[in-house]
A and B are shown apart, each in its own frame.
Chain A
Amino acid sequence: MADYDALVIGGGHNGLVCAAYLARAGKRVLVLERREIVGGAAMSEEVFPGFRFSVFSYVVSLLRPEIIRDLDLPRHGLHILPLESTVTPLANGDYLGQWSDHDQNRRELARHSLRDAEAYDEFGRLMYQMARAVKPFLSMAPPDPASLAPRDLLGMVRIAKQLRGLGGDRFHALHKLLTMSAADYLDEWFETEALKATKSASGIIGTFLGPRSPGTAYVLLHHYMGEIDGVFRAWGFAKGGNGSVSAAIAAAAREHGAEIRTNAPVAKVLIENGRATGAVLENGDEIRAKLVVSSADPRRTFMQLVGPEHLPDEFAQAIRNFKFRGSSGKVNLALSELPNFTCLPGAGPHLRGAISISPSIDYLERAYDDAKYGEVSRRPYMDIVIPSMIDPSMAPPGKHVMSIFVQYVPYKVNGGWTDAKREAFGDAVIDTVAEYAPNIKSAILHRQVITPADIERIVGISEGNIFHGELALEQMFFLRPVPGWAQYATPVDGLYQCGSGTHPGGGVMGASGRNAAMAILKASR
């Protein structure tokens, strides 16, 4: 006799979203979270007394508006604050700003290139149109083009219709976007190095690719998808940090009747006669359910929790080949005062937005070169935000927290990760920041350094890849995580996936969790 209709393994935001939707549909759901708090990589923690951090993921990125609406997340405490600008300090002491006000942005770009200032709007419009065509795919179970099943054929027809609506020019542009490198694609539009580099950075985040690697252009679209979500402000900063997003989803899930158990690490998925029938916890407890949904990444799910012995050879092989290659790290700082950037001295509005250390494409590509050969980038790409400037409750009054996302920090670093190596990486990051904001060193009260190895150890994501597997073209859409198994079901009956390692993955979107719940509900009807 099953104790539950569904067990959700992992209480990250996708697991919680999936649980909330299942519970909302009347299912008896239990979420099993290994750690003492929910959220997975979307969590906030008071790491140092008085200083709260979004320890891992640090912005709301494309959180699906339908999830915000369906789960009424604002009522459960979600409050997304604007994160409106990006400033890129330059080596010559100048900077490039991208601002949310159109006139201000145009004027700033014109300072660097009148041509780019004009191209910016046209580029934005084209990206918007392509994003509009592609966005519906985020919310669908990706059809398999090789399949003749009615569901897949219908899905392909839907996609074809959507893409035909783009019109010729834009369809061609989309094809280029899917195949080109971010650098090449942006070269066709812009001449300002810092602009190209800062934009291209969104194409390399979470991948083990450089801005000149083909396939990196596509992720540029994601930023514009946020624009379509418009008033929902799908890009932003959650008040209280990203843990508040998870907390709001968890509250919604509980309200719908889901049970959430923390400190409940799963050792194995119970499989009987080829069917998933529950889970065994590390403490030996067995919990039975009609179906099991894993929000853990595909490798952890299949190689560890299920075990290859329960899988078809080809599938197991495909999971083994699924690339993780964590490439990002973080440095979280508690600060006694604000950083004073040489390019924009004082406490200006730029400190309420992102500071991007991405002065040129060459800079980013060199950072990648180091990583290719197993080293941390000597001069890494960094995306810096000061959450306490947006939400003062993140730090004691007058004090600040700073979040520094760093790439490239290879999981497979030469010689392996050690404490000494981690601190050396932290030092290198601070040294680079100090080149742009010299007071940073004296302002640091505490520091927390996180490598991909730490992400794997703490959050449990294989190789510390922030997207549960690289968001590279060969691992996206009907290929995520395995061709033929991209619709959330798995070769094990009664076992589903709902994590970021499934389509569409990436960021605090929640789309994987929602799509999986929809697929499960459809199948159980």
Chain B
Amino acid sequence: MLKTTPFHPRTAALCRSHAWRRWAGYVVASVYELNHEREYHAIRSSAALFDISPLYKYSVTGADAARLLDRVATRNVARASVGQVLYTCFCDNKGKVLDDGTIAKLDERTFRMTSAEPNLRWLGDNALGLDVAIEDVSEKTAALALQGPSSRAILQSIAASDLAALKYFGIVATTISGIEVTISRTGYTGDLGFEIWVDSRNALGLWDRMIEAGAPYGIVPAGMLALDVARIEAGLMLIDVDYVSARKALITRQTSSPYELDLGWTVNLDKGVFVGKEALSREKHAAPAWQFVGVEVDWDSLEALYLEAGLAPQLPSAAWRTSVPIYAGDEQAGYATSGGWSPLLKKYIALAHLRSEHADIGREIEIEVTVEHQRKRAAARVVKKPFFNPERKRA
């Protein structure tokens, strides 16, 4: 049987759509209401509450905790300060991305690592000879994400610490109505938002308190469909959708380096030895073959294609997660891996892998669209990511 998260008694009661999906062996709500629109708009206009408990979470402690994490991450963990969260790639020794996630420095000897895939064995293998204890706390730790412009006000009304002082990618240990939590200013929406980490035994109490405090601000429990639209607007990639973990790739071509995923900024080649460093430094000098870019579909072109068929443009309200060919002239220049209509930006956007020679910002390309069972190509261009990047995210 599949697992349910510690919040399941609450989320199940709310899930009127009966639409569930799997995430890391758990069931989570795809959408609570009959469609996800209100849940999406809550992310951008008030606050949305997500159950993100299925994330893999590891507690890494001990004198060599920072050394271990510095060894497996591309970011410089050794130089992180207490209360800082790092978003990072994890690579194999060929410099190909195994996973992406966060590393939070809770105190000098204690870190919490999150990832999309299980990594206990891999961490253990890399910890040989180090004074470090690694514990899989995935089940012990429940997590909620509160995302949206009102998230700070809601959380501040119940949290014991001053959240104005909590910077973007900061983390603080505090309490909410007496429940011990850590709150990080992180998220997967590209908006102002927080993630709250709590002992699973206190999960329901925390949920109830958040819903109660959020009600006056219009808090909305939101599912994965809403999140998917928001994360594409934020230009954030998703494992298994936008890239294949090098651990799962069956052929080399399926693997990607951080540079090919637009995550070169997470690779710190100045730090000491880490897994994949040599290969990454070689790749950096050789320039990557692929780029991971934002694509905006030209509406007039799309509309014309539908007009030919006697239709007005029809787009699904949910984001898509299929591989869609992108062309530069007659040549296939790459492929989009997720995309959809941005209800906020009023744009049809996609995340795409393009060969580097076609990937410059502003580059005109074509994307395949299927109009009445016919394959067509709509004009599109390469644009800057993130598509949506509000000041409040960092402010």
Contacts and interface: CB of A to CB of B under 8 A. Distances in A.
Interface of A: 103-104, 106-107, 114-115, 117-119, 121-122, 125, 128-129, 167
B250 A106 contact: no
Contact of B248 (A104, A115, A117, A125): A125
16 contacts: A103-B25, A104-B25, A107-B3, A107-B25, A114-B118, A114-B120, A115-B120, A115-B121, A115-B124, A118-B120, A118-B121, A121-B248, A122-B247, A125-B247, A129-B250, A167-B252
Contact of A103 (B2, B136, B248): B2
B22 interface: yes
A186 to B, nearest CB: 15
Contacts of A167: 252
B250 A125 contact: yes
B1 interface: yes
A327 B79 CA distance: 62
Interface in B1-47: 1-3, 22, 24-25
A104 B1 contact: yes
B247 A117 contact: no
A128 B251 CA distance: 11
Contacts of A125: 247-248, 250
Contacts of A115: 120-121, 124
Contacts of B250: 125, 128-129
State the 6 A-B residue pairs at the shortest beta-carbon distance, nearest first.
A103-B25, A118-B121, A115-B121, A118-B118, A114-B120, A114-B136
B265 interface: no
Contacts of A106: 25, 118
A129 B120 CA distance: 23
B66 to A, nearest CB: 23
Contacts of B118: 106, 114, 117-118
A121 B247 contact: yes
Interface in B174-208: none
Contacts of B248: 121, 125
A167 B250 CA distance: 12
Most chain A CB within a 10 A radius of its CB, from B121, B124, B248, B252: B121
A104 B1 CA distance: 6
Contacts of B136: 114
A125 B124 CA distance: 20
Interface in B115-145: 118-122, 124, 136
Contacts of B2: 103-104
Given A107-B3, A128-B250, A118 B25 contact: no
Contacts of A114: 118, 120-121, 136
A104 B122 CA distance: 21
Given A107-B3, A118-B118, A118-B119, 19 more contacts: A103-B2, A103-B25, A104-B1, A104-B2, A106-B25, A106-B118, A107-B25, A114-B118, A114-B121, A114-B136, A115-B120, A115-B121, A118-B120, A119-B121, A121-B248, A122-B247, A125-B247, A125-B250, A167-B252
A394 to B, nearest CB: 28
B6 to A, nearest CB: 16
Interface in B281-318: none
A63 B181 CA distance: 56
Given A125-B250, A128-B250, A118 B22 contact: no
A408 to B, nearest CB: 34
A204 B175 CA distance: 58
A114 B24 CA distance: 14
A224 to B, nearest CB: 12
A106 to B, nearest CB: 6
Nearest to A113: B121
A129 B247 CA distance: 13
Nearest to A103: B25
A110 to B, nearest CB: 8
Contacts of B124: 115
Nearest to B121: A118
Interface string B248-261: 10101000000000
Nearest to B249: A125
A119 B124 CA distance: 12
Contacts of A118: 118-122
B1 to A, nearest CB: 7
Nearest to A105: B25
A449 B234 CA distance: 67
A115 B248 CA distance: 17
Interface in B193-234: none
A117 B56 CA distance: 14
B22 A103 contact: yes
A125 B117 CA distance: 15
Q: Which of A106, A118, A119, A125 has the most CB of B within 10 A?
A: A118
B21 to A, nearest CB: 12
A125 B136 CA distance: 23
Contacts of A103: 2, 22, 24-25
Nearest to B94: A169
A128 B248 CA distance: 11
A286 B332 CA distance: 67
A123 to B, nearest CB: 11
A482 B92 CA distance: 45
A177 B2 CA distance: 34
Contacts of B122: 118
Contacts of B3: 107
A103 B1 CA distance: 8
Nearest to B3: A107
A105 to B, nearest CB: 10
A21 B249 CA distance: 38
A117 B24 CA distance: 13
A115 B247 CA distance: 15
Contacts of A121: 247-248
Contacts of A107: 3, 25
Nearest to A165: B251
A106 B124 CA distance: 18
A230 to B, nearest CB: 12
A118 B117 CA distance: 9
A125 B24 CA distance: 18
A134 to B, nearest CB: 15
A104 B25 CA distance: 7
Nearest to A124: B248
B358 to A, nearest CB: 29
A125 B25 CA distance: 19
Contacts of A129: 250
A118 B136 CA distance: 12
A125 B122 CA distance: 15
A322 B135 CA distance: 53
A115 B122 CA distance: 9
Nearest to B248: A125
A127 to B, nearest CB: 12
A107 B124 CA distance: 19
Nearest to B119: A118
A121 B250 CA distance: 12
Nearest to A115: B121
A118 B3 CA distance: 17
Listed residue (B1, B25, B248, B252) with the most chain A CB atoms within 10 angstroms of its CB: B25
